[in-house]
């Protein structure tokens, strides 16, 4: 089989065309039926697994918290970092920063929006906090959100409530829910003439429930209510573009489903809304309509930011549709096997419209922490125990590099635990 030289494989400046050539060369001997790479073609997905440096002895099934990066992205980060250390103020500000606008354009194209609507930030929390603390809200103004939203987002809204006297209107979701009308009604029941914005978590991080964000947004906009989407778990996970949601504000982390360096993310604000949002980190023109005003962070991690482009290369190599199909296939693979185990309950829908790669399970008579502790202490399988509001269970999140043999190992462990 023809191979590329080591230098070509590991250069962080490898562009998408070169990366496409790399996989074509490295996959030429794989068994691709008709050249098709399906969600269950294990030759291809084993190749993807080989691109990561994950520990072979500890099985990581908490990729929803933060994902590891492919070797190519790690190498890119290291080389950008080493270059920065040759002369930080020169190489960071004058050399690496030249890649910022091209990266913005690539991210915007992937998201389906104008580059002047995308700010590069450190995570979803920072993205959404710019909006939460940047909105002009007055005492009595109402915000609709759910008790199942992400704690950092909830706490930000609660601080505004304490500081500014706004009113929070709560939706309480009994998940899973497999009916759009019910989900939309849960939100609209909380809307009033004083509602200024609705906070929609596109995928509930605890259980993997997908909300009908566009339908909720449409109902909100009909009432003159703005829409903010927490897309920490949907961007680069399921196949959509930001305009599909018709939201006004949107935040996500690229260190989750894009497998970019830790501490990277993006903020989207609809162009005509930018000037009304005060940036969290002040800039000389806080009322500017330039999205870049949200990037006034001072000295930042240039190496991590620039390596987002390398993660985007790898993501585009797999393809968004194929990636979503694989993630859902992996979830269904282990979840359906667990349903055959006595005492095991699944708290995530298996209907494609309502979940993808993330799901929650429980074992009757056992606390989530006890299950997660046994999985790790006895079997070295890393998951996360969830106890939040009315949600109780163990969250499982594979990623594209996760092999079926790994999931068989996980299912076998749950069988053994359930028998104790």
Question: Structural domain of residue 254, as residue ranges?
Answer: 88-312
Q: Is residue 154, in this structure, part of any structural domain at all?
A: yes
* DSSP codes, 230-274: E-TTTTTTSS--GGGGT-SEEEEETTSTT-PPSS-EEEEE-GGGG
Query: pLDDT band at 420, cuts 50/70/90?
Result: confident
Beta strands in 116-274 (DSSP E): 118-121, 142-146, 167-171, 195-201, 226-230, 249-253, 265-269
Can you give the pLDDT at residue 13?
43
Can you give the pLDDT at residue 212?
98
Q: Is residue 80, in this structure, part of any structural domain at all?
A: no
305 plus 361 within the same structural domain: no
Q: Is the pLDDT of residue 27 over 70?
A: no
> What is the rounded CA–CA span in Å between residue 95 and residue 106?
18
CATH assignment at residue 100: 3.40.640.10
Q: Is the pLDDT of residue 35 over 60?
A: no
283 plus 392 within the same structural domain: no
Of 252, 280, 312, which marks where a domain is finished? 312
Can you give the pLDDT at residue 187?
98
Q: Return the percentage of the chain with pLDDT > 70, whole number.
A: 91
Which residue has 């998408």 as its token pair? Answer: 16
Q: Is the pLDDT of residue 56 over 70?
A: yes
Q: Is residue 25, in this structure, part of any structural domain at all?
A: no
Beta-carbon contacts of residue 30 (< 8 Å; ≥ 6 apart): 43, 44, 47
Q: Is residue 308, in this structure, part of any structural domain at all?
A: yes
Q: Is the pLDDT of residue 260 over 60?
A: yes
Peptide bond connecting 176 to the previous residue in cis, omega within 30 degrees of 0: yes
Query: pLDDT band at 9, cuts 50/70/90?
Result: very low
Strand partners, 199: 228
User: Is 346:359 a contact under the CB 8 Å cutoff?
Assistant: yes
Of 312, 346, 376, which marks where a domain is finished? 312
295 plus 360 within the same structural domain: no
Total structural domains within the chain: 2
> What is the rounded CA–CA span in Å between residue 19 and residue 29?
17
Can you give the pLDDT at residue 24?
46
Of 261, 285, 312, which marks where a domain is finished? 312
Bridging pattern class, strands 249-253 and 391-396? unpaired
Beta-carbon contacts of residue 5 (< 8 Å; ≥ 6 apart): none
331 plus 204 within the same structural domain: no
Can you give the pLDDT at residue 378?
98
DSSP label at 91? I
Q: Calculate mean pLDDT across residues 66-74.
A: 97
DSSP 3-state assignment of 301? coil
> What is the rounded CA–CA span in Å between residue 228 and residue 200?
6
Can you give the pLDDT at residue 37?
59
| Span between the terminal Cα atoms of the chain, in Å | 49
Can you give the pLDDT at residue 7?
34
151 plus 258 within the same structural domain: yes
Q: Is the pLDDT of residue 12 over 80?
A: no
Q: Is the pLDDT of residue 8 over 80?
A: no
284 plus 376 within the same structural domain: no
Two tokens, residue 226? 């703005």
Find the helix or strand (DSSP H, E) in which 159 lies: helix 151-164
Q: Is residue 33, in this structure, part of any structural domain at all?
A: no
223 plus 351 within the same structural domain: no
Can you give the pLDDT at residue 67?
97
Q: Calculate mean pLDDT across residues 166-181.
A: 98
pLDDT in tens, 91-144: 999 999 999 999 999 999 999 999 999 999 999 999 999 999 999 999 999 999
Query: pLDDT band at 32, cuts 50/70/90?
Result: very low
130 plus 205 within the same structural domain: yes
> What is the rounded CA–CA span in Å between residue 100 and residue 262?
17
Two tokens, residue 180? 């759009």
Q: Is residue 5, in this structure, part of any structural domain at all?
A: no
Torsion of CA 67, 259, 396, 61, to 10 degrees: -50
Q: Is residue 35, in this structure, part of any structural domain at all?
A: no
Q: Return the percentage of the chain with pLDDT > 90, whole number.
A: 89
* DSSP codes, 17-32: HHHHHHHHHHTTTS--
374 plus 258 within the same structural domain: no
282 plus 329 within the same structural domain: no
Q: Cα Rg for the chain, rounded, in angstroms? A: 22
CATH assignment at residue 407: 3.90.1150.10
194 plus 252 within the same structural domain: yes
267 plus 350 within the same structural domain: no
Q: Is residue 50, in this structure, part of any structural domain at all?
A: no
Can you give the pLDDT at residue 133?
98
Q: Calculate mean pLDDT across residues 54-68.
A: 96
pLDDT in tens, 310-348: 999 999 999 999 999 999 999 999 999 999 999 999 999
């Amino acid at each position: 089989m023809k191979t590329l030289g080591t230098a070509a494989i590991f250069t962080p400046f490898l562009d998408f065309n070169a990366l496409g050539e790399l996989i074509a060369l490295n996959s030429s001997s794989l068994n691709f039926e008709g050249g098709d790479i399906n969600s269950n073609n294990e030759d291809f997905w084993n190749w993807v697994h080989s691109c990561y440096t994950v520990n072979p002895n500890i099985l990581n099934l908490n990729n929803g918290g933060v994902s590891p990066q492919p070797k190519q992205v790690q190498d890119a980060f290291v080389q950008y970092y080493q270059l920065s250390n040759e002369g930080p103020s020169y190489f960071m500000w004058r050399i690496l920063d030249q890649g910022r606008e091209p990266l913005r354009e690539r991210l915007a194209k992937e998201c389906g929006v104008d580059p002047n609507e995308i700010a590069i930030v450190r995570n979803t929390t920072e993205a959404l906090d710019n909006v939460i603390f940047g909105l002009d809200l007055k005492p009595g103004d109402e915000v609709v959100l759910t008790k199942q939203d992400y704690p950092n987002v909830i706490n930000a809204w609660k601080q505004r409530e304490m500081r500014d006297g706004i009113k929070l209107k709560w939706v309480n979701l009994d998940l899973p829910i497999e009916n759009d009308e019910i989900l939309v009604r849960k939100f609209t029941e909380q809307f009033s003439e004083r509602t200024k914005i609705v906070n929609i978590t596109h995928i509930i991080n605890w259980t993997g429930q997908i909300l009908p964000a566009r339908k909720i947004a449409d109902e909100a906009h009909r009432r003159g209510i703005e829409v903010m989407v927490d897309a920490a778990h949907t961007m680069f996970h399921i196949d959509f573009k930001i305009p599909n949601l018709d939201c006004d504000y949107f935040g996500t982390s690229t260190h989750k489903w894009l497998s970019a360096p830790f501490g990277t993310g993006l903020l989207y604000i609809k162009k005509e809304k930018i000037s009304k949002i005060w940036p969290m980190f002040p800039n000389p023109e806080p009322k500017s309509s330039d999205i870049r005003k949200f990037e006034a962070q001072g000295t930042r991690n240039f190496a991590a930011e620039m390596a987002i482009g390398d993660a985007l290369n790898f993501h585009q190599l797999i393809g968004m549709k194929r990636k979503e199909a694989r993630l859902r296939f992996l979830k269904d693979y282990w979840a359906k096997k667990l349903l055959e185990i006595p005492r095991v309950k699944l708290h995530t829908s298996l209907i494609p419209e309502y979940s993808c790669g993330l799901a929650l399970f429980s074992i009757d008579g056992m606390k989530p922490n006890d299950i997660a502790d046994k999985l790790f202490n006895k079997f070295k399988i890393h998951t996360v125990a969830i106890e939040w509001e009315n949600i109780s269970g163990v969250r499982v999140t594979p990623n594209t590099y996760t092999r079926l043999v790994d999931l068989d190992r996980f299912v076998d462990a749950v069988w053994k635990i359930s028998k104790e």
